[in-house]
Amino acid sequence: MGLEALTSVGGTRIGRTVAENVRYGMLCGYLFRILRDMLITLKYLRVEWHANYRAVVPGDSFSDTDVVGLLRIIRDKTLATQLWGSIPNCGYVAERGRQISAWVTEPLKAESQLSSHLQRLNWHVDRLYRIRCCLVHGSQVRFRLALYSANLEYYLKQMLMFTLNELSNHGHITDLAGLYQRNAVLWARRIAALKDTKTANEQTINDTIFVSAVTVEHDRGV
């Protein structure tokens, strides 16, 4: 009900409107969170820091590095190969790292990952809404609800942070419907831009990593 109260704006059908607004809201920060979590993992594993990383990132360890720094390393093919080869005892982490490297360097692979995640979000929010309808109308529910409740809690927290941050940073946006509609339109443009093989480049990918519901110019130093 909390997620519905926040995001059921700008449409006529409750379930479809909530799913549409939530899936695009949850897409914001998706690639950034993946990069951040990988950086945290590298720090936890105490992965060796090679001196030649300093060619793109100043510092002496991954503890001195931020997401932008990690992005610079894994976009350099030679450095990325060296990094993922430095994790011999955690094969899954290394394989995941190679996937992430592809997503942040190849626009078509970034688009494929984002579009697939968008579809999964749509399916999942639709499933949650159907469970909600069963509860509201007294129908039997054949699911264990703990995991679905945890998912809902996460979606609600993320959507609250997204909504409050965007409204705080952009004073000219004064209503939720306008915010979510703007975000949906911009994401459609971002995904289309990634599919344009003539113009898509690393900056196009950056626009999906460091995102806002408002089109602004950012110098991320990437």
Look at the chain and report how many structural domains it folds into.
2
Q: State the alpha helices, DSSP H only, in the chain.
A: 2-7, 14-27, 30-45, 67-75, 77-84, 91-105, 107-137, 145-169, 176-195, 202-209
Asked whether residue 37 falls in the same domain as residue 86, the answer is: yes
Residue 215 lies in a domain: no
Can you spell out the DSSP letters for 19-75? Answer: HHHHHHHHHTTHHHHHHHHHHHHHHHHTPPPPGGGGGTS-SSSGGG--HHHHHHHHH
**219 within a domain of the structure (yes/no):** no
Is 214 within a domain? no
Based on the fold, state whether residues 159 and 145 are members of the same structural domain.
yes
Q: Using alpha carbons, list the distances in angstroms from residue 114 to 68, 120, 197.
A: 19, 10, 16
Q: Does residue 220 form part of some domain?
A: no
Mark whether 154 and 138 lie in a shared domain.
yes
Model pLDDT for residues 167-201, shown as the tens digit of each residue: 998 888 889 999 999 999 999 999 999 999 999 99
The model's pLDDT over 106-117, given as tens digits with 9 standing for 90+, comes to 999 999 999 999
Q: Which residues contact 93 (CB under 8 A, 6 or more apart)?
A: 38, 41, 45, 87
Shared domain for 125 and 92, answered yes or no, is: no
**pLDDT over 70 at 218, yes or no:** no
2-32 pLDDT tens trace? 999 999 998 888 889 999 999 999 999 999 9
Tell me the average pLDDT across 155-165: 94
Domain containing residue 200: 2-26+108-209
| 160 lies in some domain | yes
Q: Is 136 exposed, middle or buried (0-12, 13-18, 19+ CB in 10 A)?
A: exposed
Domain boundary among 72, 105, 138: 105
pTM of the complete model: 0.88
Q: Does residue 217 sit within a domain?
A: no
Which among 79, 105, 131 is the end of a domain? 105
